[in-house]
Amino acid sequence: MIRAARLLAAILPLAGLASLWATSVRTYNQGTEWEVPIQGYDPRDYLRGHYVEFSYDWPGIANEGFPFPERLCLEGAAPRLDRARAIAAGEPCAHPVVAGEGGVYGISALARGRLYIGQDRAAALQEQLQNRDQRGIVTIRQREDGSFTPVGIRFRPLTPAEIAERDAPPDPLEPTAPPIMTAPE
């Protein structure tokens, strides 16, 4: 009897861990994949591990700093993202994405992201990130509850319109940086 209890005490935690692992893998692999353009790549930082950090460039959302919307509705035929629009809590949307407070970037998770890359791919990816004639595209997996996970990155050549926009002289009437907020005295 004692032997069976010891065996059960050893097997039960392992079964629990296996169950948690299976649930985690199933959750990670569920959802709809979308291809989201990115900008402002930051090559891997050796102090933080093998991650590429970037800013999402959601079509239809002006990426003009803080505060960034905490909820977006994705529109298009997956994986092609035609447009994203800000939505309020509870507003109906077929494909919502929500910035989770528990993630690396918290409520800024829709503005910034990061993706783990393996050591074998790091050098090639770093070279691609530095090429100004390419556009980065991150594949995210969006789940029904609004959570999402970046799962891959690829690059494509810039279109002629993107090259013209990149090389255009700045508009002197358009502000170049958001105003700096200061505390009242």
| Nearest alpha-carbon partner for 110 in 132, 86, 134 | 86
The DSSP secondary-structure symbol of 107 reads: G
Does residue 74 sit in helix, strand or coil?
strand
What CA dihedral angle connects 110, 116, 122 and 124, to 10 degrees?
A: -50
φ, ψ dihedrals at 40, nearest 5°: 60, 50
- Whose tokens are 């997956």? That residue is 78
User: Which residues lie below 8 Å from residue 144, measured CB to CB, with a gap of 6+?
Assistant: 31
Q: Where are the domains of the chain?
A: 41-162
Residues 85 and 62: beta-carbon distance below 8 Å? no
pLDDT tens-digit profile, the chain (185 residues) = 788 888 888 888 888 888 888 777 776 667 899 999 988 776 555 555 677 888 899 998 876 556 788 899 999 999 999 999 999 988 999 999 998 777 777 788 888 888 888 777 777 777 787 788 888 899 999 998 888 989 999 999 988 988 898 888 877 776 554 444 444 44
Does residue 141 sit in helix, strand or coil?
strand
Q: Give me the pLDDT at residue 17, please.
A: 83
Tell me how crowded residue 76 is: count the other CB atoms within 10 A of its CB.
14
- Whose tokens are 């996970």? That residue is 149
User: Which residues lie below 8 Å from residue 131, measured CB to CB, with a gap of 6+?
Assistant: 155
Q: Give me the pLDDT at residue 181, please.
A: 43
- The pTM for the full model equals 0.73
Task: Report the b/e string of 99-111 with b at 16+ CB within 10 A.
Answer: bbeeeeeebbbbb
